[in-house]
Amino acid sequence: MKKNNRRGFQLNEKQLGYAMVLPSLLLVIAVVLWPVAQSFYNSLFDYRLNDPTRSQLMLGSTIDLERYVDNHFYIEGQLETLGSADEELAATATAIQEEIEGYHAELIQDEEMRQKVEKIDEMLASYTPVRDNELKYADLENDFAADYREALTNAQEELDAAAEQAPNEEVASTITQTADLLGATSANILESNFIGLANYGKYLKDSRMWGALGNTAFFTLVTVALELMIGLAVALLINRAFKGRGLVRASVLIPWAIPTAVAAMMWGFLYDGQSGIVAHYMETFNLIPGSSWLLSTADGGMFSIILADVWKTTPYMALLLLAGLQTIPGSLYEASNVDGANKWQQFWGITLPLLKSSVLVALLFRTLDAFRVFDLIYVLTGGGPANATESISVYAYKTLFAQQNFGEGSVLSVIVFLCVALISFIFVKLIGSDLFAGRTK
């Protein structure tokens, strides 16, 4: 057994403490902080996964070596074919060939570039796709890139013009083929897609973005307010001794515990215009204009989403508030009874002030959850009809993954992030240091 004096022991405890915190901190940094920073960085680019000329983040000019080497391989042969097909064009073809070779030689003057080109050449010869982006893309000097690209497009235009005067169809098609090849090669030399805050400017003027933000804010305000009021009422009512508490508690927990997507599917069935029971009863009791109103109109869609969310989350809210109520000592109510206070005065004078911090913390978590709403809306209405129920998260998801537009989608993600940060900041100011009470010394 090691002998420890008190000082040494303290030091060890500290080191152990930091060692114990470190893995989690690194994980949080790796999977939360870094991605948020990366999202912000992505939002500064015109970055689209489905467009090969913009599928990378490029601060300067870049060359897509895989495609370039492949295209370049055919240029010489193609130009020779062209020269022998049309004698008038032979001189032009040679001139173009020389010019391209000049640029190509300049490109591979750089030792590293030459090695990359050779490596890719080998891989292409064996039909191996280049997956390593470090190898596939290389930075170019902006001036050189512009010159090379211009030379290629000029040559393409020259040939296109020549194609119109070609003696016959066959020669014309050879010329066009060559021109297209040169055009394709010029498209492999990529311009920077860094556009700074231009994406933000676009979205600040985008009515769909403001619509989505408005829907999200409306949804958040209404659901959280309803959940708080109903939850508080239920908590006050069941804050007493009664038989079957366990059963009530379990039944209240089930809506909270099932996946939101499953709840959304269930409600989708209940709301269905043809066979939905909720839609049917509401129509029978004249609560709604028609059974299809719920999912096929803008107001109905919003109402449906809010009702489903209130159903799923109010029980949870009631549980949290009930636990808060149970920490209020009964003696306070007894004393105020002696003083002749009525129930209403007791509620405002004792219950609410003492429940304040529980309510604020519950509100903070609920508000943030509601503001991030995605699955409920995505599964229940898909954001429709006509984007009337689209939340900002749903809009961001569609831009990111349906349109594969990671630049613009990231702008929307960053907007969600900033809103959430603002909401948290306001709540944390309101709650103050109470949030950490009971966790740190």
Partner 1 sequence: MNKKAGIGFYVFLVAFVFLVMFPFIWVFLTSIKPVGEIFSSFRWFTTSPTLDSYDAALTNRPLLRYMLNSFVVSGLTTLLSIAFASLTAYAVTRLPIKGKGLILGLVLAASMFPQIAIISPIFNLVTDLGLRNSYLGLVIPYITISLPLAIWILATFFKKIPFELEESAKLDGASPFQTFRKIIFPLAAPGVFTTGILVFIAAWNEYLFALTINSDDMWRTVPVGISMYQSQYSVPWGDISAATVIVTIPIVILVLFFQRRIVSGLTSGSMKE
Closest to partner 1 by CB, 1 or 338: 1
Q: Contacts with partner 1 in 115-144 (CB under 8 A)?
A: none
Tell me which of 127, 242, 285, 344 binds partner 1, using CB under 8 A.
Answer: 242
2/14 Cα distance (integer angstroms):
17
55 with 47: CB under 8 angstroms? yes
CB of 263 to partner 1, least distance (A): 8
CB of 290 to partner 1, least distance (A): 15
355 with 321: CB under 8 angstroms? yes
Closest to partner 1 by CB, 181 or 411: 411
Closest to partner 1 by CB, 244 or 340: 244
Is residue 356 within the footprint of partner 1 (CB under 8 A)? Answer: no
Q: Report how far Cα 226 is from the mean position of its chain's Cα atoms.
A: 28
Tell me which of 379, 383, 387, 390 binds partner 1, using CB under 8 A.
Answer: 379
212/394 Cα distance (integer angstroms):
8
Closest to partner 1 by CB, 389 or 413: 413
List, in order, residues 6 or more apart from 408 with CB less than 8 Å away: 43, 199, 202, 203, 399
List, in order, residues 6 or more apart from 370 with CB less than 8 Å away: 219, 220, 223, 224, 309
Q: Which residues pair with 405 in a beta bridge?
A: 48
Is residue 375 within the footprint of partner 1 (CB under 8 A)? Answer: yes
Tell me which of 7, 205, 243, 429 binds partner 1, using CB under 8 A.
Answer: 243
**Binding residue count for partner 1, defined by CB under 8 A:** 110
Of the listed pieces 7-15, 63-71, 117-125, 149-157, which binds partner 1 according to CB under 8 A?
7-15
Of the listed pieces 89-97, 139-147, 185-193, 391-399, which binds partner 1 according to CB under 8 A?
391-399
DSSP state string for 203-250: HHT-HHHHHHHHHHHHHHHHHHHHHHHHHHHHHHHH-S--TTHHHHHH
Is residue 320 within the footprint of partner 1 (CB under 8 A)? Answer: yes
Q: Contacts with partner 1 in 37-76 (CB under 8 A)?
A: 38-39, 42
301/273 Cα distance (integer angstroms):
12
Tell me which of 265, 287, 335, 426 binds partner 1, using CB under 8 A.
Answer: 265
Closest to partner 1 by CB, 83 or 276: 276
Of the listed pieces 82-90, 94-102, 170-178, 417-425, which binds partner 1 according to CB under 8 A?
417-425
Closest to partner 1 by CB, 109 or 439: 439
Is residue 8 within the footprint of partner 1 (CB under 8 A)? Answer: no
- Degrees, nearest 5: CA angle 421-422-426: 115
Q: Contacts with partner 1 in 244-263 (CB under 8 A)?
A: 244, 246-255, 257-263
Q: How far is CA 229 from each of CA 318, 333, 427, rounded to the nearest angstrom?
A: 9, 22, 19
Tell me which of 371, 377, 381, 383 binds partner 1, using CB under 8 A.
Answer: 371
Is residue 416 within the footprint of partner 1 (CB under 8 A)? Answer: yes
12/18 Cα distance (integer angstroms):
10
Tell me which of 237, 352, 422, 426 binds partner 1, using CB under 8 A.
Answer: 237
In terms of C-beta distances under 8 Å and separation of at least 24 residues, what long-range contacts does 262-267 make, across chains too? Answer: 263/308, 263/311, 263/312, 263/376, 264/308, 264/375, 264/376, 264/378, 264/379, 264/380, 265/379, 267/304, 267/307, 267/308, 267/311, 267/380
Question: Which candidate, 157, 21, 101, 42, places its Cα nearest to that of 396?
Answer: 42
CB of 105 to partner 1, least distance (A): 34
Closest to partner 1 by CB, 288 or 319: 319
Q: How far is CA 66 from each of CA 129, 134, 276, 407, rounded to the nearest angstrom?
A: 8, 11, 55, 24
**Site map 173..202 versus partner 1, x via CB under 8 A:** ------------------------------
Closest to partner 1 by CB, 58 or 379: 379
Tell me which of 315, 381, 383, 390 binds partner 1, using CB under 8 A.
Answer: 315
27 with 107: CB under 8 angstroms? no
423/369 Cα distance (integer angstroms):
11
CB of 158 to partner 1, least distance (A): 41
Q: Contacts with partner 1 in 268-297 (CB under 8 A)?
A: 268-270, 272, 274-275, 277, 280
